[in-house]
Structure 1
Amino acid sequence: MSIRISNLTCGYKGHAVISGFDAVVEQGSVFCLLGPNGVGKTTLFRTMLGLLPAIGGSVEVDGEETLHCSDKHRAKLLSYVPQAHTPPFAFTAADVVVMGASAVGGMFGRPGVSNYDVAQRAMDELGILDLAPRAYTELSGGQRQMVLIARAVAQGSRYLMMDEPCASLDLGNEARVLEAVKNLARKGFGVVMTTHSPAHVAQCEARGVLLMRDGSRVTGGVEELLDPQALSRAYGVDVAVGKAACGQGPDVLQTTLCGPVVR
């Protein structure tokens, strides 16, 4: 059971940004698209979600091709967690999660009791059931992000696509979101996550990484790609990689700028 990406070429108006990309994302694992801003992570991500037409190649989810299927069917296979989301009305957090539980219904269908039950289970699974009655627009950035993850879980897909889920979050909320990502993978979800921070890759225990820079890319394991030389080439600065002890918990990866810009 996996997402299988084969020879995927994507870009805009026929101009390829990424060509011939191959990857496999297994259920129960996290795959990170890592790299600095502007290297094509979002373009690849949007193509996989069907938001941009692919120039070539295929994306299969558990053997089903998704690039040319209907939006309704794709919603059964892939769930999406955006960087940020502000609804036009002050929905409760529960209402936002219910939108995921009813995503595969008709356009004008109204959510039923079963949809609210699914939403409640998703929020409970993520430990945010106490947020259910609160206005989504009044929540903190970290709380909103957890609600968006619950919405994706409620959608019923076993694969979650997360676009910079820690963008603009403080250190505490960043840690909570990454812990949620790690726990979802442990429960059997497959997660594809974009990030510009190498530390996020280690903190969510990603099994696979795509490291991108200026149109070039390298795929591999975490130990291979979270290497000082590989990161220095990708980000254009001299980087040191180490681990910091964190109380009784696991060591946390740290990256440190330690020299001039790499040319």
Structure 2
Amino acid sequence: MNAELITLQEVVFGYDRRKPAVIEGFNLSIYEGSITAILGPNGVGKTTLLKLVLGWLKPWSGKIHLNGKPLEHYSRREMGKQIALIPQSEHTPFEYSVLEYVLLGRTPYMPPLGLPSSSDEMIAYEALEQAGIAHLSDHSIIGLSGGERQLVLVARALAQQTKILLLDEPTSHLDLSNKHRLVNILQRLKENGTTILMTTHEPDIALALSNQTILIANGRILAAGPTDEVVNSGSLTQVYHLPIKIINLDGKKQVLWL
């Protein structure tokens, strides 16, 4: 079995101690070279979980470890070399070019107030090519479509060259063609040893990509384990509160809601 990269032990978190916790008693292991999908409807704590793993939020109780080391023992620069995030969306206050924006992924490797090197620029351009948007490198990020901006966020994370990649609803702004492109990118990253933790409310994405799936509802883990075992008609019906059926089509599982 591959090594555990990220572990959560009895993690509890909320935004207001006068209200119920958003994350309640999470125990979770993320293994090296795997893709883990956090699956559940909107508002159940999926994004909060990613922010906890990044160290942006501190648990009320419980422990989070990265490579066996407590998360709080890492500096922000060290974390930036370990974990990259692809958020659902991101406000951009300045009119960066696409290449300039992707170069922000090189920040953990640059000295304070330092400028990108030619090597940084080459890595950023290769990330744009990998995301399929190198032709946009000189375009302003302000004028891009939602799908194009999502792929720029993908490229920025690729330029960060981390061993762990977190994705928050990565397909939410993508059309079918770009969704297919992203799935292929993630599959290649997994083959090259990248560990991926992603949230989604699309069971089809979990079935297409993940080794392990965690089903969440109301801040609690309902089921966790190999995706083929966890993602089934009964569990999805329980999580989404509507009749769901999984069928096999040309050797692939497809999700139908009835």
TM-score for both structures, normalised by structure 2: 0.89
Tell me, yes or no, if the aligned pair for 1:229 and 1:239 is still in contact at 8 Å. Answer: yes
**In the alignment, what sits opposite 1:186?**
191
**In the alignment, what sits opposite 1:57?**
62
Identity %: 31
Alpha-carbon shift at residue 231 of structure 1 (Å): 0.5
Structure having the larger proportion of residues in helix: 2
Task: Write out aligned runs for 1:38-187 (5 A).
Answer: 38-187=43-192
**In the alignment, what sits opposite 1:13?**
16
Please state if 1:208 is matched with 2:206: no
Alpha-carbon shift at residue 37 of structure 1 (Å): 0.9
Alpha-carbon shift at residue 59 of structure 1 (Å): 2.3
Letter in 2 for 1:82: P
Alpha-carbon shift at residue 123 of structure 1 (Å): 2.4
Which stretches in structure 1 are left out of the alignment for 5+ residues? Answer: 246-250, 259-263
Q: Considering only aligned residues, what root-mean-square deviation do their CA atoms show, in Å?
A: 2.0
Distance in structure 2 (CA, Å) of the matches to 1:152 and 1:65: 23
Shift in alpha-carbon separation, 1:31–1:67, aligned structure 2, 3 A: farther
Alpha-carbon shift at residue 252 of structure 1 (Å): 4.3
TM-score for both structures, normalised by structure 1: 0.87
Alpha-carbon shift at residue 106 of structure 1 (Å): 4.5
Alpha-carbon shift at residue 57 of structure 1 (Å): 2.2
Q: Secondary structure at the match of 1:150?
A: helix
Tell me, yes or no, if the aligned pair for 1:3 and 1:61 is still in contact at 8 Å. Answer: yes
Tell me, yes or no, if the aligned pair for 1:48 and 1:67 is still in contact at 8 Å. Answer: no
Tell me, yes or no, if the aligned pair for 2:25 and 2:220 is still in contact at 8 Å. Answer: no
Distance in structure 2 (CA, Å) of the matches to 1:127 and 1:27: 26
Q: Structure 1 runs of 4+ off > 4 angstroms?
A: none
Distance in structure 1 (CA, Å) of the matches to 2:37 and 2:126: 27
Letter in 2 for 1:12: Y
Deviations for 1:145-195, whole angstroms, at most 9, x for unmatched residues? Answer: 222112112112110111111113222222222222222111211111000
Tell me, yes or no, if the aligned pair for 2:150 and 2:174 is still in contact at 8 Å. Answer: no
Which stretches in structure 2 are left out of the alignment for 5+ residues? Answer: none
Q: Secondary structure at the match of 2:108?
A: coil
Letter in 1 for 2:56: L
Deviations for 1:113-166, whole angstroms, at most 9, x for unmatched residues? Answer: 222122123223334333322222333333322221121121121101111111
Shift in alpha-carbon separation, 1:186–1:140, aligned structure 2, 3 A: farther
Alpha-carbon shift at residue 232 of structure 1 (Å): 0.3
| Deviates further, 42-51 or 85-94 | 85-94
Distance in structure 2 (CA, Å) of the matches to 1:165 and 1:182: 14
Distance in structure 2 (CA, Å) of the matches to 1:169 and 1:156: 23
Deviations for 1:233-258, whole angstroms, at most 9, x for unmatched residues? Answer: 0100010111333xxxxx44322122
Tell me, yes or no, if the aligned pair for 1:86 and 1:137 is still in contact at 8 Å. Answer: no
Shift in alpha-carbon separation, 1:193–1:140, aligned structure 2, 3 A: same
Alpha-carbon shift at residue 43 of structure 1 (Å): 1.6
Please state if 1:199 is matched with 2:204: yes
Deviations for 1:192-225, whole angstroms, at most 9, x for unmatched residues? Answer: 1000110110122x01111011233121111111
Alpha-carbon shift at residue 41 of structure 1 (Å): 1.0
Shift in alpha-carbon separation, 1:241–1:21, aligned structure 2, 3 A: same
Deviations for 1:37-62, whole angstroms, at most 9, x for unmatched residues? Answer: 11111121211111211112222222
